[in-house]
Structure 1
Amino acid sequence: MSSLPLILKVPASRKSPGERLPPLYGQYRQYEHRLPQHRWNAPSRASDPRYFWVAAYSRGSGWGNVMQEVLLNAHLSYKANRAFVFYNYTWNDDGSDYSNYNGKPIPSRVPLSALIRGPMIGESWPEDVSAPLSISEEYYHHVCKKNRRVIPRAEVHDPLPTWFASDIMKGWLDKLASVDDRTFGDKDGMRDLWPEFRHSPVLTHFAYSHLVELAFDTNREVFSPTAVLEPPLTSIPFTPSTRTAERYTELPGLLVLHVRRGDYEGHCAHLARWSSSYLAFNTLPELPDRFDPPPGGSWGHNTPENVQVYMRHCFPTVEQIIARVEEVVRLDAARGLQNVYVMTNGAAKWVDGLKAALRATGRWKNVASSRDLVLNREQKYVAQAVDMLIGQRAQVLVGNGTSGR
C-alpha cells in the first residue's frame, strides 16, 4: 500500500441497498473520545500538560511503516515529557469515509485503538513511569484551537551535525525543552535508536488491540496448532504493568515467512536502481541477516547481475524461498521447527503454489498463509496487524529487509 489511492466520496448513508461497505470503527473512535484525560467541556488549566503533535504524519502507507512512526513519535514525546497526540491510521484525509484500493473500498481512516493498545494511545503508563497521558488528535484540535507553536522541520534538522537518529532525537528534545507552549512538529523517519528505544515504556508496554488478539485466538489452530491446552490470549488481562515480552511469548516450532508480492516487484526494482540497503530496524547489528549493496552500480542504474541479487532478497521466486528456508532450518535457532506460516499479500494461485512447494519438502506438519485466516468484517481491514502479531511470536521469523512491516 504505497501508491496514492483514488478517492470514493461515498457517505455511508448513501450506500445502495444490499451494498456492504467496510466498517468505520465508530465504537473504537468513541472509546478514544471517552478517555478520562479528554475533558471536552472543562476549561483549560495551567496544570494541563504540554502536547506534541506531529502534523505531517504518514498517510497512504502500509501499517508497518505507520506503526514504526507512531512508536518512535510517542517515544520522542515521552522523552520530552509531553502528552503525545495520537492520530488515526490514515489512508487519506480528504474527509471521505472510503478510499479505493485495487478496485475495492477500504476505510479512509482507522482509529489506532482498533489496532494497538498501550500508553501511546492514551492508556495508563506503568506505575514507575511519570509521564502525561496521550490524547487524541481530535481532542488536541478541540483544546488547542489558538494557542499553538509551529516548529518547522528545517528549524531543527538544518543545524544537526549528522542524520543519525541520536542527533535527530537530541535536536528535537533540545528544541522542545526551549518552548513552553503546546507544540507540534513535522515528521521524520528516525532511524537506529534501538539501544535506547528498546527500553522505552512506549515499546515495553505495547500491545495489540483486543480485535487483533481475538483474530489471533480464533485462528491459532490454523498457523500453530496447540500441543497442550493454552489459555486464549484475550483471556489474559492487559494492565499498565503488563510487559510486551511476557504477553507475547514465543510459539515453539513456528517459522514465519514474510513474502511481499503484488506491486512490490516494481518497488524492488526501484531499490535495485538506487543500490538501497535494508530498511530502518532491519539494519540492527544484532540481527543475523546482513545485506551490503553489491558494488558495480551507479546513481540511478545497476547491473543486471546486481538487480537479480536485489530481487532474491526483495521479491524472491518460489524456488528461492524454498532454498532460503532450507538454509534457515539448519541453524541452531531453528531446532524443532514444524509449522510454517506465510505472511503475504500474494495472489491466491501463487500462494497455493508456494504452500505446495513447502509441503513437498516433507519437513512441515502444518503449512498456512495469511489467506487461510478466518477474519470477521472488522478484522479484515486490520489484517496486517494480525500478521504482525503472529510474526512477533514466531520461534524464527524470516522477514523482508526492504519492508517496513
Structure 2
Amino acid sequence: MPTVSFPQLSQKWNRPRFQSQVIRIGLCVALVLGGIWFLLPRWRVGYSEAIQRGDIHILEDPLADGLGHPSFREVKLYEGSLPQHHSSGKWSVRPRYLFFPWASWGSGWNNIFQEQLMNTHLAYLSQRAYVFPQYIPRDHPPFPDTLENGTRHMLHIPMNAFVSGPTSGGPLSADSSDSLAGRAVPEEWWNIACPREQVVVVDLHQTMSELGIDSSKDDGGKILERWAAKLSEISAPCVSIEGGSVFDYILFGYRILSAWPSYGNSPTLKYFTWSPLVTAALFRNFHVLSSSPPPEYLLPKDTAPYRFTSFNPLRASEPPISGLLGIHVRRGDYEYHCPFLADIGAEYNAWSSFGTPGISQRPEFENFSRPAWPALLDYLDVPENISGRDARFNHCLPTAEAVVARVGRVREEAKAAGIASDLRRIYVATNAEQGWIENLTTLLKAEGWEVSTSFEMDLTLEERAVGQAVDMGILTAAEVFIGVGVSVTFLDDISVLNVVWMRQFSSLTSNVVQIRLAGGKDPRTIRFW
C-alpha cells in the first residue's frame, strides 16, 4: 500500500500546548456566538413550535368554555401560521419590533382601534413591525363574563377576528412582495422574540419633552413625523413605548387630520381588510342586505365545511353593494351621552371632522395614490331659529322621524349627483331598544324602503363577539353611508376632561369614514345626521 508523507513539523511546535490553545479559542468563540444569540431577539424560534412547547397557550380555556365564550381556535392558529413567524434564516433584514403596551386598553374597541391603526402606521414609518394585542372587552362585554365566585373572566379576542390587514400581520403591499420582517406580529410572539432584558423602553413623557411635543396642543402630523424619526434612529430590535399613548384619545378630534397626507395613503389603510369572519357573516346574511346574489368577493373559496380560511378577507376597495344605504343609529347610552355632549359644545370625532368648514379641500379622488385631504359634504350646522346646543343634540340623537326625513333627502341628493341611482334598502347598524327600532322600521317602510337591522343578522358565536366589526363591514360596503359625527371635544378644565374620558363616545362612524375613504369610495357617499 502506498504511503502518504507529510512535511516534517517544526520541533518548536508543542502538541499539548497547541491543543489547549485550540480548545480555549473554541470555547471563546462559542461563548461569543452564544452571547450574540442570547442578545438578539429569538426570531429563530417558530410560533407553532412555541405553541407545542407550551410557551403560548391558545387552545384550551375551561373557564371560558364554562361561560359559553367562543374559543377562536382557528383564528389563533391562523395568527400562529403567519409566515413572518416561520422564516428562520430567510430574512433580508433582521426584524425590528415596536410594542405599545400602554395603548388605550380601557376604552371601547373602536376607540382602541383608531389608535391601533395610527400605531401601525408609526411602526411602518419607523421601519419596524407593529406588535398587535388581543382585545379584552372590559366595558360592554358581548357575553356574560362573571364567574360564580363573583370574579370576572374576561374574553380575549384575537386581532384577526376583527381585521386581517397590515394591523394584524397581513401584507403591506398589493402583491405581498413586502418584506416579511416588516409585517405585524401578535403580542404572544413579542414575548418570545423580545425577552424583557432585551427590550429598549422608551418613556413616552420624557420623549415627548425631548421632541418638543405638547400632546395637548400639537397636531397629529407633527407628532407622527417626530416620533417616526426618533424611533428610526434606535438600532435595538425590540422597542417598547411605555408611560402612555403616542396618539392619546384626546388627539382624535380635528388635530389628527394633519396626519392624513401620510396616513391616508399608507399601507395601513390602502391594504386594510376586514377579517374572514366578517366576510363569512356578510355572505350568509346577504339576503338581509340585498335581493341580488352575493358578489364574488363574498363567496367562499371552497365547499368544505366552514373554516376561518374558507373566506377571503374583505377589502374596502371592493365594489359597493348596489342600492344599499347603510346608517349608524346609536341609541342606548347615547340617550344620556348626547345631552352631555350638547351641553359641552362637542365637535365631530376624528376623521368625521373632514366635513367641517375650513378643512374642506376638494381634490378629485380618481387617483387616490395622490395624498389628499378629502372634503365631506356635511358638518355640524346650526339651522336658523335653533340653538347650537339643540343642533348638536339633534345631530347626535335624531328622532325616528328625523331619520326618515334625512335618509329621504340623502337618497334624492345621491341620485341627483349620480353617485347612487337607486337606493332602495336600508341597513340600520344600531343598539336601539327593540320597540324604538320597530317604530323606525315601520316609518321607513311606509316611505318605500326595504329595511334590515343589526338584530336580523344570523351570527355564529365568534361573529357575535365581533358584531361591531360585522356592522362596520356592511357600512363600509354600502353604496352610501350616514353616520353619527358628534363626539368629544377639547376642554381646558381637566375635571371635565376626566368626565369625557369616563363617557368616551364610540368612534365607529369615524373609523367607517376613514376606511371608506382609504378604499377609494367617493367622499360624497359619506354623510352625517
TM range (shorter): 0.7 to 0.9
Distance 1:15 1:329, change over 3 A: closer
1:276 deviates by: 1.5
Find out whether 1:184 has 2:240 as its counterpart: yes
Please list, as runs of the form range in 1=range in 2, the aligned pairs for 1:234-253 lying within 5 A after superposition. 234-235=299-300, 244-246=315-317, 248-253=318-323
Matching residue within 312, 315, 318 for 2:400: 318
CA distance in 2, matches of 1:15, 1:172: 39
Q: Find the counterpart in structure 1 of residue 363 from structure 2.
A: none
CA distance in 2, matches of 1:257, 1:242: 23
Distance 1:36 1:345, change over 3 A: same
Q: Find the counterpart in structure 2 of residue 163 from structure 1.
A: 218
Larger radius of gyration: 2
Distance 1:177 1:15, change over 3 A: closer
Distance 1:14 1:206, change over 3 A: closer
Q: 3-state DSSP class of the match of 1:287? A: coil
Matching residue within 379, 396, 401 for 1:290: 379
CA distance in 2, matches of 1:106, 1:368: 34
Q: Find the counterpart in structure 2 of residue 3 from structure 1.
A: none
Distance 1:82 1:14, change over 3 A: closer
Distance 1:385 1:217, change over 3 A: same
Contact 1:119 1:202 in 2 (8 A): yes
Matching residue within 105, 117, 121 for 1:59: 105
Structure 1: runs of 5 or more not aligned: 1-10, 295-303
Contact 1:204 1:244 in 2 (8 A): no
Letter in 2 for 1:141: N
Q: Find the counterpart in structure 2 of residue 154 from structure 1.
A: 205
Q: Find the counterpart in structure 1 of residue 525 from structure 2.
A: none
Please list, as runs of the form range in 1=range in 2, the aligned pairs for 1:158-237 lying within 5 A after superposition. 158=209, 159-160=212-213, 163-181=218-236, 182-185=238-241, 186-187=244-245, 188-189=247-248, 191-192=256-257, 193-226=259-292, 230-231=295-296, 233-235=298-300
Distance 1:60 1:293, change over 3 A: farther
Please list, as runs of the form range in 1=range in 2, the aligned pairs for 1:98-177 lying within 5 A after superposition. 99=145, 108-126=155-173, 127=176, 129-130=178-179, 132-145=182-195, 146-158=197-209, 159-160=212-213, 163-177=218-232
Distance 1:99 1:308, change over 3 A: farther
- Identify which of structures 1 and 2 has the higher relative contact order when contacts are C-alpha pairs closer than 8 Å and 6+ apart: 1
1:199 deviates by: 1.5
CA distance in 1, matches of 2:463, 2:165: 19
Find out whether 1:262 has 2:348 as its counterpart: no
CA distance in 2, matches of 1:257, 1:326: 12
Please list, as runs of the form range in 1=range in 2, the aligned pairs for 1:370-381 lying within 5 A after superposition. 370-381=454-465
Residue-pair matches, total = 371
Q: 3-state DSSP class of the match of 1:235? A: coil
Structure 2: runs of 5 or more not aligned: 1-59, 303-308, 355-359, 361-374, 487-505, 509-529
Q: Find the counterpart in structure 2 of residue 13 from structure 1.
A: 62
Letter in 2 for 1:287: L
Greater strand proportion: 1
Matching residue within 68, 82, 86 for 1:35: 82
CA distance in 1, matches of 2:145, 2:395: 31
* Partner deviation per Cα, 1:214-251 (whole Å, 9 max, x = no partner): 0001111112221x67435143699xx999354x2111
Contact 2:322 2:478 in 1 (8 A): yes
Contact 1:276 1:293 in 2 (8 A): no
1:110 deviates by: 0.3
Contact 2:213 2:223 in 1 (8 A): yes
Find out whether 1:24 has 2:113 as its counterpart: no
CA distance in 1, matches of 2:194, 2:321: 45
Please provide the CA RMSD for this pair. Answer: 3.3
Q: Which stretch of the first structure deviates more once superposed, 272-281 or 130-139?
A: 130-139
CA distance in 1, matches of 2:101, 2:341: 28
1:128 deviates by: 5.3
CA distance in 1, matches of 2:99, 2:64: 35
CA distance in 1, matches of 2:169, 2:159: 10
Q: Which stretch of the first structure deviates more once superposed, 228-237 or 343-352?
A: 228-237
Contact 2:109 2:137 in 1 (8 A): no
Return the TM-score normalized by structure 2.
Answer: 0.64
1:204 deviates by: 1.2
Q: Find the counterpart in structure 2 of residue 327 from structure 1.
A: 409
Distance 1:160 1:60, change over 3 A: closer
Matching residue within 391, 413, 425 for 1:339: 425
Q: 3-state DSSP class of the match of 1:212? A: helix
CA distance in 2, matches of 1:399, 1:279: 11
CA distance in 2, matches of 1:78, 1:369: 37
Distance 1:39 1:235, change over 3 A: closer
CA distance in 2, matches of 1:282, 1:61: 19
Please list, as runs of the form range in 1=range in 2, the aligned pairs for 1:385-396 lying within 5 A after superposition. 385-396=469-480
1:352 deviates by: 0.9
CA distance in 2, matches of 1:293, 1:214: 42
1:46 deviates by: 11
Contact 2:348 2:485 in 1 (8 A): yes
Q: Which stretch of the first structure deviates more once superposed, 349-358 or 124-133?
A: 124-133
Contact 1:256 1:394 in 2 (8 A): yes
Matching residue within 41, 49, 62 for 2:95: 49
Contact 1:86 1:137 in 2 (8 A): yes
CA distance in 2, matches of 1:229, 1:25: 26
1:355 deviates by: 0.6
